[in-house]
């Protein structure tokens, strides 16, 4: 069954798909930072970092505030509860499938072991 999630769901995964943006979120989890500071930390141009921050801001994961010439970034209020629930559902699905696979492998090992004993007799 196909489930449709809102645009924010898609925007979150799009934002999280990039390693630099995930790094920015980690950095902002430790302390607020200006776009200039983030650009230096990630060895990027200001323009490049502004684009990354814009994607995070569109997803609601980061907020920015401009004071004078400095734009400071902070973590946004949006949590990733819906995305975490979606991932958890698929984690459980894959865990169940791997448990079934483990059971098949164990049965094959037992059968192979039994067949080996029959050949010796």
Please report, to the nearest 10 degrees, the dihedral formed by the alpha carbons of residues 82, 18, 90, 81 taken in order.
-20
CA 96 from centre of chain? 21
Range list of β-strands (E), the chain? 33-34, 62-67, 70-75
Query: What is the per-residue pLDDT across 64-81, written as a single tens digit (0 to 9) for each?
Result: 999 999 999 999 888 788
Name the residue ranges covered by the structural domains of the chain: 7-75, 80-121
Which sign, positive or negative, has the C-alpha torsion 48, 41, 60, 56?
positive
Give the fold, CATH level 3, of 7-75: Arc Repressor Mutant, subunit A (1.10.10)
Q: How far apart are CA 76 and CA 65, in angstroms?
A: 11
Q: Give the residues across from 75 on adjacent strands.
A: 62
Give the global pTM: 0.73
Query: What is the per-residue pLDDT across 24-59, written as a single tens digit (0 to 9) for each?
Result: 999 999 999 999 999 999 999 999 999 999 999 999
């Amino acid at each position: 069954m196909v489930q449709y999630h809102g645009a924010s769901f898609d925007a979150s995964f799009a934002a999280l798909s990039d390693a630099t943006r995930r790094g920015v979120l980690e950095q902002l989890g430790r302390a607020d930072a200006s776009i200039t500071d983030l650009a230096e930390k990630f060895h990027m141009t200001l323009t490049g970092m502004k684009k990354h921050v814009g994607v995070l801001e569109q997803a609601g994961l980061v907020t920015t505030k401009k004071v004078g010439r400095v734009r400071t970034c902070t973590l946004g209020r949006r949590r990733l509860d819906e995305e975490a629930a979606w991932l958890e559902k698929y984690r459980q699905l894959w865990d169940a499938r791997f448990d079934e696979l483990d059971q098949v492998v164990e049965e094959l090992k037992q059968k192979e072991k039994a067949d080996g004993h029959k050949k010796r007799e």
